[in-house]
Amino acid sequence: QVQLVESGGGLVQPGGSLRLSCAASRSIESINFMGWYRQTPGKERELVAHITNGGSIMYADSVKGRFTVSRDNAKNTVYLQMNSLKPEDTAVYYCATVQRGVAFWGQGTQVTVSS
């Protein structure tokens, strides 16, 4: 099992930046898939980006060129750097992983993009 804790959310103006962190309760060296998701009220949770141990990275079309996912295995942490934020990026952001077919989620961190 692994516990995940997100941080770094907040209120930012359009065009601004935030960096989200996802701290794991144990080493993530053996954890291949680490993903960032987001959800707004009334909508399904969507995958924003993921990163694997092998360096494979994927981004949703809506965030390509603006968001960057990275991981620091030594710190057991995954990051999501978000630049050029738009109001439509407003959501609760979650990190997640899958271990032996079981999904583990953090509690989420609110990101609000508004002037």
Q: How far apart are CA 40 and CA 92, in angstroms?
A: 7
pLDDT of res. 63:
98
* Strand extents, DSSP E, the chain: 4-7, 10-12, 18-24, 34-39, 46-51, 57-59, 67-72, 77-82, 91-99, 102-105, 109-113
pLDDT of res. 29:
86
61: confidence class by pLDDT, cuts 50, 70, 90: very high
pLDDT of res. 57:
97
Whether the pLDDT of residue 99 is over 90: the answer is: no
